[in-house]
Amino acid sequence: MAKSNALRRTESLPVAEPKPSPLELDRLIHERVRLGIVSALAASEAMTFNELKRLLELTDGNLSVHARKLEDAGYVSCLKSIENRVPRTEYRITATGRRAFEKYLKHMEALIGSMKAQS
Amino acid sequence: MAHILFHDSAGRFFVPQSAMLEEMQPSVKVRPIANHALDNLRFIRETMERSSSFTAVPGWAGVAMGVTALIAAWFAARQPDRELWLATWLGEGMLAIAIGAGGVFAKATRIGQSLTAAPARKFALSFAPPVLVGALLTVALWRAGMAQLLPGLWLMLYGTAVITGGAYSVRAIPAMGAVFVALGAAALFVPAGDLFLALGFGATHIVFGFLVARRHGG
């Protein structure tokens, strides 16, 4: 079994969250790459950096920039460890992130609902 | 991927708000917005499907199934006649199915059922046929008096179900299926059915279940 040393776990520290109105779109999630990250984590709870990279077909830089933004917002948490001398980064969605994701889904469903109501 | 349909004058994309929808002319502008929302939802669903195949299989349920199988193997090996032996394993089979189904359901509920329904259905549809074939062959072989073949048959067909059900999942799942098939093949030729069943449904479930639970979120 691989040896795993937890070095740090960053948790949600949302700084001065702007009070969004119920209809306002969550731009943090709306961006396509971040939407992909949040969707993937919402379905699997924990994924490593490499799994996310492969799944979403991203470059290292692109993924780390967007993951960092989600981390800063407290939507995802990040656990870095060393496994067999190889650094391993694991991401999870936080409760805040899950709520934001669900809100975003409801928003999209509402948009579709209004199409059905009007057609 | 260029899925963004709306851009403002500065070239930044945006999605009009629901309140704005009501001011717009129906069918002229509402449709593309809603199409965009549909497209977004499709992207979300596909991403979740691809990543949830990583974890649709519940690891802790696998460990639990392994533990009950070890207990069942201990009991089955001590049964005086074949009927009680078969009853022990059939009981364990049903218990394992209940644990597995409960585990899949619990995991899907935690993740969000409406979005995991499709991959769960796909898994069930490819998992079920070998298991049903196994049930039919169990009856046939039992009636033909060939109960000694049952452990090999169960292990191989369960392994087949795991391989096909987990074909697009993490490598650990089809690998576990392959271990079951190999144990089943050995069980056909070595007269130690309960030992192989304990190794397969017991030990293999526990090892891979633990692996999945640790590495793929529960």
CA distance B217 to B116: 15
Give A-chain residues touching B22 at CB under 8 angstroms. Answer: 114
The mean per-residue pLDDT over the stretch B158-173 comes to 85
Residues in chain B with CB shorter than 8 Å from the CB of A42 are: 48, 111-112, 115
Over residues A61-108, the pLDDT tens digits come to 999 999 999 999 999 999 999 888 888 899 999 999 999 998 998 888
Instruction: Please list the alpha-helical segments (H only) found in chain B.
Output: 18-23, 30-52, 59-77, 82-111, 113-143, 150-165, 172-189, 193-197, 205-215
**B21 close contact with A: CB closer than 8 A:** yes
Report, as an integer, the average pLDDT of A12-24: 50
Structure tokens at A61: 């830089």
Q: What is the pLDDT of residues B100-130, one digit of tens each?
A: 888 888 877 775 555 556 666 777 888 899 9
Read off the pLDDT of each residue in B179-189 and give the average, rounded to a whole number. Answer: 96
Q: Please, what is the average pLDDT of chain A?
A: 81
pLDDT higher than 90, residue A22: no
Q: For the full predicted model, state whether its pTM sits above 0.80.
A: no
Outline where DSSP puts E strands in chain B: none
The per-residue pLDDT for range B76-100, each reduced to its tens digit, is 999 888 899 999 999 999 999 999 8
**DSSP E strand stretches across B95-201:** none
According to DSSP, the residues that pair with A93 across neighbouring strands are A76
The 10s digit of each residue's pLDDT in A2-11 is 444 444 444 4
Chain A residue numbers with beta carbons less than 8 Å from the beta carbon of B50 are 40, 55
Q: How many whole angstroms separate alpha carbon A114 and alpha carbon B38?
A: 12
